[in-house]
């Protein structure tokens, strides 16, 4: 899982003359650059820098005021800039990892190994380049592969891991009390271990403040996403892939509040002016399932645009909606176990998707059959029938990968999309236009 903080979408359709970046996007780029720069500065001063999984309780390191980078987010950004292949090749070749494991893991482990061998990532033109880690933060709430990935990083780099073991919710809608107690206990334990490792006391007042900021940010993000239920949508849904980066890498920071407040203002201005960041007429609205094909984002965007299709919403961006009351550690422990739909059952996930398709007035669903993120993908094989039956919209799948360029086929993507568009057009002629609930 991750969000792309790469700033401008590489390979996106050329626009002439190039429109200036909206202020919110410039702020995202500035924020991302600042996070990486701060980590390098700390590293150069000999202070610890962390690498963390994307949905680890970030509130801890934020409270300790220790810089943290996010390999999944970094892998997404590097893939979007078509710079990931040498690392993936290194992981598969020299390190002998199989092609079947997550490509974020391959890319990052390849990069870490090159760093370990003193091959400076900074000087190779890799952007954004991660400062080497002194510790790792791991929560396995989006998949268990993360555990092996981080275990291997920890062994290869000889650094400690702060681990929060989350339990999946396969047999219940809500995590049982013992699961919440289990995760809470681990969070408390991590705090104790971190106090020792960083040589500082944990400031519980600051922690409460960070929790408050984190909640403000996730609520703001939800409000912005909800605006896209308007018809036509004020945003190209693919923008969400870029704007989720602040939530992934700076969820507990005030700079994210500034960015999201600005984005909300811009989006509301689009609504007031009847404009949108989606170029051209929005003929169809689809719900996107799965992580973006980062290396092919530009192609996907252009092809969707060519058919007047706006992927107004996707289930992926809601994974950082970690909702709890500030001060309620049990609530926080619960939230970290349910925010990623990867930890739910197929019917549980599909129930959310069906509600979202209805809420965002989608005419169809486009599913990324992602060779890397199997946990997120396998649900759709059975789930598509649930979507078709209950949401009554057609579903089309296409093959791809979030980072590995060998899997995606442009021709296949276009054929599947075109087939979906033709069915959606046929349905529209039959049923009239489906209205978004919040239009």
Kindly give, in sequence order, each residue whose CB lies less than 8 Å from that of residue 45, ignoring residues fewer than 6 positions away: none
Q: Could you say whether residue 102 binds ligand SF4 (CB under 6 A)?
A: yes
Q: Could you say whether residue 277 binds ligand SF4 (CB under 6 A)?
A: no
User: At which residue do the structure tokens 């993000």 appear?
Assistant: 221
Cite the DSSP H helix spans in 117-200. Answer: 145-157, 177-198
Residue 140 touches which of ligand SF4, another protein, none (CB < 5 to 8 A by kind)?
Answer: none
Structure tokens at 378: 């396998």
Beta bridge partners of 135: 50
**Largest CA-CA distance found in the chain, in angstroms, rounded:** 67
Least Å distance, CB 423 to another protein, is 6
The distance of Cα 125 from the centroid of its chain, to the nearest Å, equals 24
Q: Could you say whether residue 407 binds another protein (CB under 8 A)?
A: yes
Q: Could you say whether residue 145 binds ligand SF4 (CB under 6 A)?
A: yes
Residues 52-91 as x/- pattern, contact with ligand SF4 by CB under 6 A: --------------------x-------------------
Q: Which of 123, 178, 411, 435 binds another protein (CB under 8 A)?
A: 411
Residue 407 touches which of ligand SF4, another protein, none (CB < 5 to 8 A by kind)?
Answer: another protein
Residue 145 touches which of ligand SF4, another protein, none (CB < 5 to 8 A by kind)?
Answer: ligand SF4
Beta bridge partners of 314: 288
Q: Which of 32, 63, 142, 186 binds ligand SF4 (CB under 6 A)?
A: 142
Q: Could you say whether residue 399 binds another protein (CB under 8 A)?
A: yes
Looking at the Cβ atoms of 194 and 375, the one nearer to ligand SF4 is 375
Q: 247-277 burial, b for 16+ CB within 10 Å, e for fewer?
A: bbbbbbbebbbebbbbbbebbeebeeeeebb
User: At which residue do the structure tokens 């811009």 appear?
Assistant: 266
Task: Calculate the alpha carbon distances from 239 to 105, 214, 220, 298, 308 in Å.
Answer: 25, 21, 15, 12, 16
Beta bridge partners of 309: 284
- Identify which of 61, 66, 65, 35 has the alpha carbon closest to the alpha carbon of residue 49: 66
Q: Which of 231, 368, 416, 434 binds another protein (CB under 8 A)?
A: 416
Q: Could you say whether residue 143 binds ligand SF4 (CB under 6 A)?
A: yes
State which of positions 161-180 bind ligand SF4 (CB under 6 A): none
Looking at the Cβ atoms of 220 and 424, the one nearer to another protein is 424
Q: Could you say whether residue 316 binds ligand SF4 (CB under 6 A)?
A: no
State which of positions 279-338 bind another protein (CB under 8 A): none
State which of positions 385-414 bind ligand SF4 (CB under 6 A): none
Cα gap 323→338, rounded to integer Å: 9
- Whether the CA torsion 295, 298, 301, 306 is positive or negative: it is negative
Q: Which of 120, 275, 412, 433 binds another protein (CB under 8 A)?
A: 412
Q: Which residues bind another protein (CB under 8 A)?
A: 369, 381, 388, 394-397, 399, 407, 409, 411-412, 415-416, 418-419, 422-423, 426, 430
């Amino acid at each position: 899982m991750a969000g792309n903080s790469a700033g401008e979408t590489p390979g996106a359709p050329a626009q002439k003359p190039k429109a200036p970046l909206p202020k919110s996007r410039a702020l995202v780029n500035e924020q991302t650059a600042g996070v990486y720069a701060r980590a390098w500065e700390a590293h150069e001063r000999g202070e610890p820098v962390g690498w963390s999984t994307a949905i680890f309780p970030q509130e801890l390191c934020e409270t300790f005021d220790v810089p943290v980078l996010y390999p999944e987010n970094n892998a997404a950004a590097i893939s979007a800039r078509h710079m990931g292949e040498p690392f993936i090749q290194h992981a598969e070749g020299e390190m002998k990892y199989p092609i079947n494991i997550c490509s974020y893991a391959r890319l990052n482990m390849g990069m870490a190994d090159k760093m370990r061998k003193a091959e400076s990532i900074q000087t190779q033109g890799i952007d954004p380049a991660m400062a080497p880690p002194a510790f790792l933060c791991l929560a396995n709430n989006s998949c268990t592969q993360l555990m092996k990935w981080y275990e291997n990083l920890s062994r290869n780099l000889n650094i400690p891991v702060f681990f929060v073991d989350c339990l999946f919710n396969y047999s219940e809608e809500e995590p049982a009390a013992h699961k919440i107690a289990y995760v809470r206990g681990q969070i408390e334990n991590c705090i104790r271990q971190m106090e020792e490792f960083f040589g500082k006391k944990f400031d519980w007042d600051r922690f409460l403040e960070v929790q408050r900021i984190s909640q403000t940010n996730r609520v703001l993000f939800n409000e912005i996403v909800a605006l896209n239920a308007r018809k036509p949508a004020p945003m190209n849904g693919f923008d969400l892939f870029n704007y989720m980066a602040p939530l992934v890498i700076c969820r507990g920071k005030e700079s994210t509040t500034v960015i999201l407040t600005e984005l909300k203002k811009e989006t509301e201005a689009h609504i007031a002016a009847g404009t949108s960041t989606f170029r051209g007429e929005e003929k169809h609205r689809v719900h996107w399932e799965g992580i973006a094909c980062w290396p092919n984002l530009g192609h996907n965007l252009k092809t969707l645009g060519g058919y007047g299709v706006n992927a107004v919403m996707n289930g992926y961006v809601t994974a950082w909606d970690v909702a709890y009351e500030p001060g309620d550690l049990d609530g926080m422990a619960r939230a970290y176990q349910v925010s990623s739909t990867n930890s739910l059952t197929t019917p549980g996930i599909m129930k959310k998707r069906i509600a979202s398709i209805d809420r965002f007035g989608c005419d169809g669903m486009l599913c990324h059959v992602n060779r890397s993120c199997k946990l997120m993908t396998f649900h759709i094989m059975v789930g598509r029938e649930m979507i078709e039956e209950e949401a009554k919209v057609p579903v089309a799948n296409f093959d791809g990968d979030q980072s590995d360029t060998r899997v995606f086929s442009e021709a296949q993507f276009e054929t599947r999309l075109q087939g979906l568009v033709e069915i959606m057009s046929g349905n529209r002629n039959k049923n009239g236009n489906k209205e978004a609930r919040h239009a």
